[in-house]
Amino acid sequence: MTEDATKNEPSPNQPKLNQIVSAIESHVGQDALIDHYINKLSKDVPTIVANPNTYYSIAKLLRYDEQLNFAYLSELHGTDFETHMEIYVHLHSFNMNQSVALKVKLDRAAPVIPSLVPLWPGANWPECEAYDLLGIDFREHPDLKRILLGDDWKGYPLRKDYQPYDVEV
């Protein structure tokens, strides 16, 4: 995907991505981001891939920085990419009138990541959903529970290696 961005002419969102990236690099650290690019497939949304260690600090910066001020969490979900787990967070800033996709790759064997609920209370249920269906553990989540499936459900259905527990159905 990074290749796509460089192949064609620069996206109109490139300056905004640069602004976000420079803000992160100056406030959180040079190596805070693993990658950043414009996702041409997704309406040119600036996409930044965070380090699991810096994920929360980056989110906090995006949320509270006066210029950036990504006050609205539009979407949060997880994906099992077999080699790793990924969290995809779609944020929107009314200040910049711009969305940003914040991604973080997790270790598939032990997917643990800080919860975003302290920053956006709206992340509460989506994180529960990711926990419920993918088994991602959100640390410091106020009430992490199996929100859609029952408490007694075995396994995490959206994992690619999920075997239905009740084989007869």
Partner 1 sequence: MLRTEEMLLNVGPQHPSTHGVFRLVIKIDGEIIKEATPVIGYLHRGTEKLAENLQYTQIIPYTDRLDYLAAMTNNYVLCHAVETMMAIEVPDRAEYLRVIAMELGRVASHLVWWGTYLLDIGATSPFLYAFREREMIVNLLTELSGARLTFNYMRVGGVKWDAPEGWIEKVAEFVPYMREQLAGYHELVTGNEIFVNRVKGVGIYTKEEALQYSLSGANLRCTGVKWDLRKNEPYSIYDRFTFDVPTREEGDAFSRYHCRMEEIEESLKILEQAVVQFPEGPILAKVPKIIKVPKGEAFVRIESPRGEIGCYIASEGKKEPYRLKFRRPSFYNLQILPKLLEGENMANLITILGAIDIVLGEVDG
Given the rule CB under 8 A, which residues bind partner 1? 1, 4, 39, 41-43, 45, 71-75, 77, 79-81, 88, 90, 94, 97, 101, 120-126, 129, 133, 146-150, 157-158
CA gap 113, 106 in Å, rounded? 8
Instruction: Name which of 45 and 58 has its Cβ closer to partner 1.
Output: 45
Please state the separation of Cα 56 from the chain's center in Å. 10
Side-chain half-sphere exposure of 8, counting CA atoms within 13 A: 13
Q: How far is CA 28 from CA 51, 57, 79, in A?
A: 11, 7, 26
SS3 160: coil
Instruction: Name which of 1 and 110 has its Cβ closer to partner 1.
Output: 1
| Smallest gap from residue 125 Cβ to partner 1 (A) | 5
Instruction: Name which of 41 and 109 has its Cβ closer to partner 1.
Output: 41
Instruction: Name which of 62 and 80 has its Cβ closer to partner 1.
Output: 80
Assess contact for 138 and 123: CB atoms under 8 A: no
Instruction: Sort strands 98-106 and 45-50 into parallel, antiparallel or unpaired.
Output: parallel
Assess contact for 75 and 88: CB atoms under 8 A: yes
| Smallest gap from residue 39 Cβ to partner 1 (A) | 7
| Smallest gap from residue 90 Cβ to partner 1 (A) | 5
Assess contact for 87 and 76: CB atoms under 8 A: yes
Q: Which residues contact 109 (CB under 8 A, 6 or more apart)?
A: none
| Smallest gap from residue 29 Cβ to partner 1 (A) | 26
| Smallest gap from residue 26 Cβ to partner 1 (A) | 26
Instruction: Name which of 65 and 75 has its Cβ closer to partner 1.
Output: 75
